[in-house]
Amino acid sequence: SKAPGFYNTLFKTKFVAGFLKIALGMHPKRSFPQLSKSSFSKQVKRLTFHVKNPKKEVYLFVDEFTNFLESSIAVDAKFLLEKLGYNVHCVSDLESGRSFLSKGFLEEARTIANNNVNYFKNIVNDDFCLLGIEPSAILTFKDEYLKLADNKTLAKSIAERTFLIEEFIQKEIELGNITPEQFTTEIKSIKFHGHCYQKALSNQKSSFDILNLPKNYNVTIIPSGCCGMAGSFGYEKDKYDVSMQIGEQTLFPAIRKAPKDTIIAANGTSCRHQIKDGTGVIAKHPITILKEALV
């Protein structure tokens, strides 16, 4: 239980951090991602809650990045959905295969795809959809799995019932199941940076729409392309400068020019890390912002 704190402290020690960065091929100016004090897999055991007369039942896929690095976002997602009247079944002991795919390890990714398709084949259906927090992880179900999985019919069936959590909430808003009255009337300004996978395979409007749900939230989308991190790309010492140059094209200047009380939102874990390293600003996942807006 003390391991995350120990490792985070170790990463902050200049000598150790410097040695590790050299060993891992990281640029010296890049910060290490921080481990959560406790993984979501451990926390969920004491977060058991059953919604009476739920509007719907959903499965929440807590990916490997959220589970270990930003478990608080998964806690927020579960809490938000339950407060809005949905029964949430959490799956946090699987990985998406995104890390293997990003480095070209297709056979390893294929194994994970097949395992996940087999796991969800009797779970995800017209009554139980699958939701995900991290775009690069959950959208793997809707893209690469269709090519990698041995049973492509099953993979397609699951993909059709798989959504970013923002997409699900957006659809529920349209159905009238979620309303502005469930949220604060405080005035806030938000600037949102969308993930590349979301832009390519889904859309940014779902995140925009749910952030606009509280009556007095004013939301704008930053007209940025890639944040520049692109998974492990921005960590590599020979890619760091290019990574930062990409961030400086639109994203970083837009954040620096924003008033100090503006909330910066980004739904990608890599994007949030890049924003922190490039501007010093801590960006929030849209789900955390919406959870904090509950009344």
pLDDT in tens, 140-171: 999 999 999 999 999 999 999 999 999 999 99
% of the chain with per-residue pLDDT over 70:
95
Mean pLDDT estimate for the chain? 93
* Pairwise CA distance, residues 151 & 139, whole Å: 18
Question: 78 with 58: CB under 8 angstroms?
Answer: no
**What pLDDT score does 15 carry?**
60
DSSP 130-150: EEESSHHHHTTTTTHHHHH-S
DSSP string, 166-179: HHHHHHHHHTTSS-
Average pLDDT over residues 58-75: 96
d(CA 236, CA 8): 20
Q: Which residues contact 204 (CB under 8 A, 6 or more apart)?
A: 192, 194, 198, 221
Q: Is the pLDDT of residue 271 over 60?
A: yes
pLDDT value for 206: 96
Is residue 273's pLDDT more than 70? yes
Q: Is the sign of the CA dihedral 113, 119, 121, 125 positive or negative? A: negative
Residue in the block written with tokens 């529920």 = 172
Domain extent listing, the chain? 40-168, 179-292
Given this model, what pLDDT does residue 1 score? 47
Domain 40-168 indexed as CATH 2.60.40: no
Least confident of 25-39, 57-71, 223-237, 275-289: 25-39
Predicted pLDDT at 191: 98
CB-based burial label for 159 (10 Å; 0-12, 13-18, 19+): buried
Give the pLDDT score at 110.
98
Distance CA(185)–CA(216), nearest Å, equals: 6
Name the band, by pLDDT with cuts 50, 70 and 90, for residue 45: confident
Report the 10 Å Cβ neighbour count for 279.
19
Answer yes or no: is pLDDT of 17 > 80.
no
